Amino acid sequence: MRDVIVLGVGMTKFGELWNRSLRDIYVEAALSAIENAGVDHIDSMYVGAMSSGLFVQQEHLGAVLADYLGVNPIPATRVESACASGGAAFRQAYLEVASGASDIVLASGVEKMTDGADVTEVLATAADQEYEAFHGITFPGLYALIANAHMHQFKTTREQLAQVAVKNHHNGAKNPNAQFRSEVTLEQVMNSTMVADPLRLLDCSPVSDGAAAVIVASTDVARKLKKQIIRVKASAQASDTIALHNRRELTTLNAVSKAAEQAYRMAGMKPSDVDFAEVHDCFTIAEIVVSEDLGFFQKGCGGKAVAEGKTAIEGGVIPINTSGGLKSKGHPVGATGIAQIIELYEQLTGRAGERQVKDASVGLAQNMGGSGASCVIHILEGL
């Protein structure tokens, strides 16, 4: 397999973009990535989108977006893995360049969630429709089950959950593309409206519109363009039972630990070699569980780690969600996995401004679908 390089990135601001269409925001992100990469063409493109059918009644999204981007007749394929659709699209682009079939590929993601659909109902199609959603449980409820189990088993506290939101809003306030550029206090999180006990409104990532795109290419292309080499050191993916009730335990996400294991093996690295990470904090509890399953902290210690500042940019051991994460940056589901790669790229090229992690040379992005039934992990290294 050939080495694969991230050559350039582009994204829209995330938020409630009521006056713009899916096509419109997609084209902005994709053109921005193409321009940033400095390429004069792309060989092929992948689009991650969870449910353009249910959100905006448009399937066949690869073809639609290739058309509006003006890149016909190149191959254009949509990839779906619920909220991990962006990460999965990046992985397919990676495989296409690694195989030698193409030299320059656009990996992208988009979701338009605020156009009138019942968002909670649409998102619930990422759960087990026959055994979960049918009975009325949606994602806040599923993650609340995980949170309760984690609090019971490891004495994780309500305050520790809230610390995740406080930290991510603190980081997101410095991200010009974030949906919520506002700090929140521990008290605000703890007193926000109850959604699904113990998860409150400020424990939940928002409903967002947005698009994100990156260009991946072979080393030859990167060298010709004299670009800094940001190499994809590992691409790993794993699956788990779709329904939460079929798992041996609620407090470990098996797809995350399996994909992490593969990713570290492929990169020849261990968790302590990672300088910073973007992880899938769709709910505050998710960041805690994932930070453990990635091996950054012992199982059960993720809550304590956040509260002690170990995941903060300033003074942290392993800064997590420097971009603001899904919580503050926003979570247009199909775009999220690509936006994580963008934050890695910005940090590794030293362009993260006020959010910059000092001496960042290895970053990890973890993107997952549903309650963790799919997980995609990438490790990038800046040389």
Q: Cα dist. 146→14, 40, 139, 229 in Å?
A: 27, 47, 11, 39
CB of 284 to a copy of itself, least distance (A): 22
331 is catalytic: yes
Q: Contacts with a copy of itself: how many residues (CB under 8 A)?
A: 64
Query: What is the rounded CA–CA span in Å between residue 76 and residue 123?
Result: 25
Contact status: 98 vs a copy of itself (CB under 8 A): yes
Residues 335, 110 contacting (CB under 8 angstroms): yes
Contact status: 293 vs a copy of itself (CB under 8 A): no
Q: Which listed range, 34-42, 145-153, 212-220, 365-373, lies at the site for a copy of itself (CB under 8 A)?
A: 365-373
Near a copy of itself in 13-42, by CB under 8 A = 21, 23
Q: Which listed range, 128-136, 164-172, 200-208, 298-306, lies at the site for a copy of itself (CB under 8 A)?
A: 128-136
Contact status: 117 vs a copy of itself (CB under 8 A): no
CB of 330 to a copy of itself, least distance (A): 20
Mark residue 68 as left, alpha or beta (left: phi above 0; alpha: psi -120 to 50; beta: remaining).
alpha
CB of 188 to a copy of itself, least distance (A): 33
Interface pick for a copy of itself out of 64, 110, 199, 267 (rule CB under 8 A) = 64
Interface pick for a copy of itself out of 6, 56, 306, 307 (rule CB under 8 A) = 56
Q: Which listed range, 48-56, 199-207, 268-276, 302-310, lies at the site for a copy of itself (CB under 8 A)?
A: 48-56
Q: Which of 46, 36, 43, 32 is nearest to 6 (CA)?
A: 36
Q: Cα dist. 294→108, 251, 260, 265, 307 in Å?
A: 25, 13, 6, 13, 18
Q: What is the DSSP letter of 13?
A: P
Choice between 12 and 237, CB closer to a copy of itself: 237
Marked catalytic residue, from 169, 170, 280, 331: 331
Residue 213's DSSP bridge partners are 10, 108
Q: Which of 48, 125, 96, 119 is nearest to 337 (CA)?
A: 48
Contact status: 88 vs a copy of itself (CB under 8 A): yes
Query: What is the rounded CA–CA span in Å between residue 228 and residue 231?
Result: 9
Residues 292, 299 contacting (CB under 8 angstroms): yes
Near a copy of itself in 171-190, by CB under 8 A = none
User: Which H helix or E strand runs over 204?
Assistant: none
Beta-strand pair 104-112/44-48: parallel
First to last CA, the chain: 19
CB of 173 to a copy of itself, least distance (A): 32
Contact status: 238 vs a copy of itself (CB under 8 A): yes
Query: What is the rounded CA–CA span in Å between residue 232 and residue 337?
Result: 14
Contact status: 370 vs a copy of itself (CB under 8 A): yes
Interface pick for a copy of itself out of 240, 281, 292, 346 (rule CB under 8 A) = 240
Q: Which residue has the tokens 């995330």?
A: 14
282 is catalytic: no
Q: Which listed range, 12-20, 75-83, 156-164, 306-314, lies at the site for a copy of itself (CB under 8 A)?
A: 75-83
Query: What is the rounded CA–CA span in Å between residue 280 and residue 179?
Result: 16
Query: What is the rounded CA–CA span in Å between residue 35 and residue 41?
Result: 10
Contact status: 67 vs a copy of itself (CB under 8 A): yes
* Interface with a copy of itself (CB under 8 A): 1, 21, 23, 44, 50-51, 53-54, 56-64, 66-67, 71-82, 88, 91-92, 95-96, 98-101, 122, 125-130, 133, 237-243, 246, 254-255, 258-259, 369-370, 373-374
Provide the annotated active-site residues.
83, 331
